[in-house]
Amino acid sequence: MRSVLSALCVATLLSLGVACSSTPAVSPPADVAAMPPWPSMSGVAELADGRLLVVHDAKPGSREHVLGVVAPGIDDGYRPIALPAFDPPLSDVEALVAVPDATDQFLFLESGASGAPRRVVRFEMTHDAHGALTPTVLAAVDVRDATSRVRNAESLAIESFDVATGRADLLVADRTSLGPSRPSATVSVYRVTVHFGAGVAVPATLACRYVVDSSIFGTRPNGSVRCASDLVWASDGVLFGAATVDGGSEGPFASVLYRVECGAARERSGRPPRAVALATIGGFKVEGLARIGTSDAVWIATDDESFGGVVRAVALPATETSPPDS
């Protein structure tokens, strides 16, 4: 059902002329400030009814809610959703992913920056008779100690999840920065096993490494680059990711969606693969990615700071295998 409704959403977006592109480049509107007045978003995932759940990078005292629902192509509306209070309060929520084979169950992740907790929160969205959504928190596990080699986590992907036992193998990566004196960097992706029932996390192990080069943007980035603002686990060893240029609260912004192959053959070669650009998103800072059903398309959610955020559907072209780093 989710994939069928998602396909309808994409078709609706196409009929309305909203950016759901079959080409690698996506053009932003001329007037960024005139976009829908949605809060900036740091994660996105599909609900079973075709709407989208989003998270905001809430910081203590800065926002009353961290969840929202967007209905792209249906009514283009946005509605905030309240979560129960956390102790300590939620801080810098940076990723959201749907739990496979569990209708409307999700995980979100705190970045753990500046010594704050890095909790993975498992929760479920339920509908009342009027279609309103209510979140129920099922478990929250702090993985800071288990992922101590990650300084600032902005991405979360599910490699495997046993819904019955609550055992999950999760992929977490540091956002990994580039700058004028550092034109390329190696992103390390860690696998952390979380037992939600017992509330414990096993120390993470290295899952894969890959290289992001500033040339992936085509031109010299005007601002700091985050190599892994979100990741999507597509299949065995294949990741889709987003790299972003952050020029500050007023921009400029730019993003590139990429593909990287981190399978066993790559690990045996001894050289990390290099990320391959799939789509350029000019004018936006993509922080959320979610695959649309099983298609070669993704939802993107943006955190454009002073300009708020948008949700769009982007088709990803087929690519060859990721080349190894030279």
The whole-number pLDDT of residue 2 equals 40
Q: Which residues pair with 273 in a beta bridge?
A: 324
Q: What is the C-alpha separation between 140 and 197, in angstroms, rounded? A: 10
Q: What is the pLDDT of residues 239-287, one digit of tens each?
A: 999 999 988 888 889 999 999 988 654 555 578 899 999 999 999 999 9
Tens-digit pLDDT profile for residues 53-78: 999 986 655 555 689 988 766 555 78
Distances (CA, A) of 237 to 165, 205, 233, 283, 323: 24, 15, 8, 30, 14
User: Which residues contact residue 136 at a Cβ distance below 8 angstroms, ignoring those fewer than 6 apart?
Assistant: 123, 124, 125, 126
Residue 18 has pLDDT above 90, yes or no: no
| pLDDT in the model for residue 173 | 95
3-class SS at 216? helix
Q: What is the CA radius of gyration of the chain?
A: 18
Among candidate residues 203, 176, 179, 178, the one with its CA nearest the CA of residue 187 = 176
Mean pLDDT of 163-177: 95
Question: pLDDT band for position 209 (50/70/90)?
Answer: very high
Q: Assess contact for 96 and 127: CB atoms under 8 A.
A: no
Class of domain 2-315: mainly beta
- Residue 293 — left, alpha, or beta (φ > 0 → left; ψ -120 to 50 → alpha)? left
